[in-house]
Amino acid sequence: MAEAEPTTLEPGGTNAVGRMLGLLGDEWTLLIVQQALQGVSRYGQFKAALPISNSVLTARLSMLEREGLLERHVYQSNPLRAEYLTTARSRSLWPVMLAIWDWERHWVAEHVDVLPTMHHVTCEHAFSPILSCGSCGKPVAAKEISATWGPSGTWERSVPESVTRRRSEADPTHGGAGLFPETMTIFGNRWASALMGAAFRGVTRFTDFETSLKAPPTLVADRLRAFCAIGVLVATQNEKRPDWAEYRLTEKGRAFFPVVAATLQWAEFWFHAPEGPSLVQTHRTCGGDFVATFSCDQCGEALAGHDITIVPALVGAAPRGEP
């Protein structure tokens, strides 16, 4: 089916990373996809599940249909009624949603919702996902992955390409959408997610973030402040240049790597630059290509979306925190 075909990018244009950041670096997009993966399909259901305005929901649904993440299906003609069904492209985002759920439940103690438990059908246990290397099958951490630019990979070509009209800070619904509030601080904004990616690639200085991403200095400063506020970056003083501040990943920040790995994997699968991939990643431990996979911490088997069930949250807890 056409929905399963990757998008071929323009030669010399925005690469897979930029396309992914422009698409997923939007909190409404992530939240609508999250709800769709749980079975929500109709306009009224999305409205009931999310604090979203009619205009924003209509625009995002149209964009998700255009980008191949949802398929509009008319189920009634008089009056006209349509539902939005998931596609192979959106269903393959389950590792991203799983990684977000796991990070939030481990690192956001004051989360406003009670997160559900994930159950692995294969071993019949509640589980946590373990990021593993597809080449050797062993668990991996961010420090064990070497990443270099691929044939289509440059900072310029990885600049986020926006596919939606950016929501104004004056929007009355702003601030109410964060069902995963800290994840959205990191990933629910295309420039924030690009900055986090730069931090994982070793960028530490303000001017280097600004130069690499070609982002306005006020925007870089705002994101760095937000990241320090939630504890994923820490500002340190350079020993040789006391007037230089360096921003380094904390343990909490490094723990976000599975989300980054899952989104990059999704990007390279669905967006093909004719020159080749944007990033080449190697697992230093085994020397093989790093292919991000997730395994069950209980039985060690590779996870698949259809083998995971959600155990409902406690009675009285808001179920909207489910990935």
What CATH number does the domain containing 114 carry? 1.10.10.10
Task: Give the mean model confidence (pLDDT) for residues 293-311.
Answer: 91
pLDDT for the residue 323: 38
Q: Is the pLDDT of residue 66 over 50?
A: yes
Query: What is the total count of domains within the chain?
Result: 1
Whether 7 maps to a domain, the answer reads no
pLDDT at 111: 62
What percent of the chain has pLDDT above 70?
A: 87
On the question of pLDDT at 233 being above 90, the answer is: yes
Across 199-222, average pLDDT:
91
Which is more confident, 239 or 59? 59
In the chain, % of residues over pLDDT 90: 63
**pLDDT tens per residue across span 282-300:** 999 999 999 999 999 999 9
Q: Is residue 182 part of a domain?
A: yes
**CA-closest candidate to residue 321, choices 165, 62, 90, 110:** 110
pLDDT at 117: 84
Strand 279-283 relative to strand 145-149, pairing: antiparallel
Q: Residue 248: inside a domain, yes or no?
A: yes
3 is a domain residue: no
Asked whether the beta carbons of 227 and 196 are under 8 A apart, the reply is yes
pLDDT at 113: 56
Domain interval for residue 17: 13-321
pTM, two decimals, is 0.86
| 66 or 156, greater pLDDT | 66
| Inside any domain, residue 255 | yes
What distances in angstroms separate CA 170 from CA 18, 149, 163, 166, 175, one per listed residue?
Answer: 26, 38, 20, 11, 10
**Model confidence at 89: pLDDT above 50:** yes
- Whether 1 is in a domain gets the answer no
2 inside domain: no
Tell me if 98 is assigned to some domain: yes
Higher pLDDT, 60 or 320: 60
Query: Which distant-in-sequence residues (6+ apart) come within 8 Å of 158 by Cβ?
Result: 14, 15, 17, 18, 21, 194, 197, 278
DSSP-derived letter for residue 302 is B
**Peptide bond just before 79 cis, omega within 30 deg:** yes
